[in-house]
Amino acid sequence: MEENFTPYDYSGKKEENPQMPPEEKYNPYSYTYGGERAEPVKQVPPTPVTPPPVAPVTPPPAIPQPQPIPVQYGLGYNAGNPAPAPVMTEIQPNGIPVTPRKEEKKFIKRTYNITGWMLIINSLLPFVLVTMFSVVYLLITAVSGWVPYGVEKSIEMSIVILIYIISDLFIVLLGNKLTGIKLRPLFNTKGFSSSFLLMGVVIAIGMNLLAIIVASLTETAFEELFGLMLTSPDDTPSSMIYMIVDCVYAVIIAPIIEEIVFRGFVLKNFSRYNVYTGIVLSGLFFGLMHGNFYQFIFTVPFGMALAYMTVKSNSILPAIFAHFLANAGVTAINLVGLYNEDLSDGIFVVWLAFFICVGLLMLFIGLATKSIRLPKNTKAEKKRGFPLAFTSHAVIIYIVLQIILCISSIEKM
């Protein structure tokens, strides 16, 4: 290698360092540009520097993200099939979106519409079957000859009751199958105490009797002001057989069947997304089912009270017992009235006064001590309750159908 070679000269000629000013020459032994040869700098190991302590950083609170709709809302009674997972929208701390998306609304309305259609079938099917039976029965009696007075009405009523039982069981079994409800859990025996049962029964019957007074006053007002009768069914027995059949149905069959339908099937489906919607609609539909405005007035609050008992106890057994006791008391008083009307009226006054006074007292105590209450509705539950229920076509059709039936029962004096 030539002695004038520099690292920047590949031609053998010495060049100035292009990175240095012209007056400074490159010195390969210097640690600086230009000047004398510098002595090698001793390498001193660097002193280790301890980094300053870093304060822990608290992560910001997590923003709730949308989660799949849980299987049930609110109380344990509101079990149901899971809804489709929501999309991004306003979300509550529990992860449930406030406003349901289109797919979820469709899912919820499907449950409401199935319930509505089952009630419509339950209104029309007995009418069709009873009409068919009446035609066949008239043909049979015409061919067979005379039937003793009272017996034919008892047989006819027994067949009609059987038809209603078959219709109720049909819509319950089919409706439960379509909406995924199981019958066995409805008869839970571990969700309530004897004190709850006693308190619930007294309050429910007291509300029923108080509403009966309102219904009687309303009926009187319609008669005097408009000359119209808000008719109630004529339960005057025409024979001993008729009376026995009527008592068995009112005291035993009706409490069981009607509670399975309205506090089991109807309440269960409408309270899946909003428990208040379930309580109100089960009472409303229970009143409309009776087919006349007189009974509608006092069966709606009674049905709501039974629905509340069902939700709180997670069982329809307390409602069945309260329904049984209410019907049994009225039936017993009516039977006494067949033989002694004055005694019957006296017993009814005592029955009325006891349950209204004690029931209202228990109700006020329960409200004051907050032992009678339901959890507050969330925004999500409000948007999934009444707004979707009253825009479901089957629910609207059933309400209109039953109102027409109630109007048709009004008679001129």
Q: Using one digit for the tens of pLDDT, what is the confidence trace for 142-188?
A: 777 665 555 566 777 788 888 999 999 999 999 999 998 888 889 98
pLDDT of residue 33: 33
Residue carrying the six token digits 């640690």: 31
Residue carrying the six token digits 């005291």: 251
Which residues on adjacent β-strands are paired with residue 228? 412
Q: Using one digit for the tens of pLDDT, what is the confidence trace for 105-133?
A: 999 999 999 999 999 999 999 889 888 88
Could you tell me if 384 and 112 are in contact, meaning their C-beta atoms sit under 8 angstroms apart? Answer: no
Contacts of residues 93-97 at CB distance under 8 Å and 24 or more positions apart, as own/partner, are: 93/64, 94/64, 94/378, 95/64, 95/65, 95/66, 95/67, 96/67, 96/69, 96/70, 96/378, 96/380, 97/66, 97/380
Spatial neighbors of 348 by CB under 8 A, at least 6 apart, are: 333
Rounded CA separation 338/237 (Å): 9
Q: How far apart are the first and last CA of the chain?
A: 136
What's the number of CA atoms in the CB half-sphere (13 Å) around residue 395? 24
Tokens coding 225: 């002001």
Residue 320: name the closest of 366, 369, 256 by CA. Answer: 256
- Alpha helices by DSSP H, listed for 145-235, are 151-179, 194-226
Rounded CA separation 181/130 (Å): 29
- Predicted confidence (pLDDT) at residue 71 exceeds the cutoff of 70: no
pLDDT confidence band for 81 (50 / 70 / 90) = very low
Which of 75-79, 106-110, 186-190, 205-209 is least confident?
A: 75-79
Q: Is 294 exposed, middle or buried (0-12, 13-18, 19+ CB in 10 A)?
A: buried
Could you tell me if 181 and 115 are in contact, meaning their C-beta atoms sit under 8 angstroms apart? Answer: no
Helix (H, G, I), strand (E, B) or coil at 91: strand
Give 273-314 as a DSSP string.
Answer: S-HHHHHHHHHHHHHHHT-SHHHHHHHHHHHHHHHHHHHHHT
Q: How many CB atoms lie within 10 A of CB 241?
A: 16
pLDDT of residue 348: 92
Pairwise pLDDT comparison (231 vs 12), residue with the higher score = 231
Rounded CA separation 277/289 (Å): 18
Residue 148 carries which DSSP code? -
Rounded CA separation 8/22 (Å): 15
What's the number of CA atoms in the CB half-sphere (13 Å) around residue 406? 19
- Predicted confidence (pLDDT) at residue 205 exceeds the cutoff of 50: yes
Report which residue type is found at 206.
Answer: G
Q: How many CB atoms lie within 10 A of CB 246?
A: 20
pLDDT confidence band for 30 (50 / 70 / 90) = very low
Q: Using one digit for the tens of pLDDT, what is the confidence trace for 31-65?
A: 333 334 444 445 556 676 677 776 666 766 655 55
Helix (H, G, I), strand (E, B) or coil at 55: coil
Mean pLDDT on 1-26: 43
pLDDT of residue 232: 58
- Predicted confidence (pLDDT) at residue 400 exceeds the cutoff of 90: yes
Tokens coding 144: 């067979």
Q: Is 291 exposed, middle or buried (0-12, 13-18, 19+ CB in 10 A)?
A: middle
Cα torsion at 203, 209, 214, 215 (round to 10°)?
130
- The phi and psi torsions of 243 (rounded to 5 degrees) equal -65, -40
Could you tell me if 104 and 83 are in contact, meaning their C-beta atoms sit under 8 angstroms apart? Answer: yes
Q: How many CB atoms lie within 10 A of CB 218?
A: 15
Report which residue type is found at 154.
Answer: S
pLDDT confidence band for 95 (50 / 70 / 90) = low
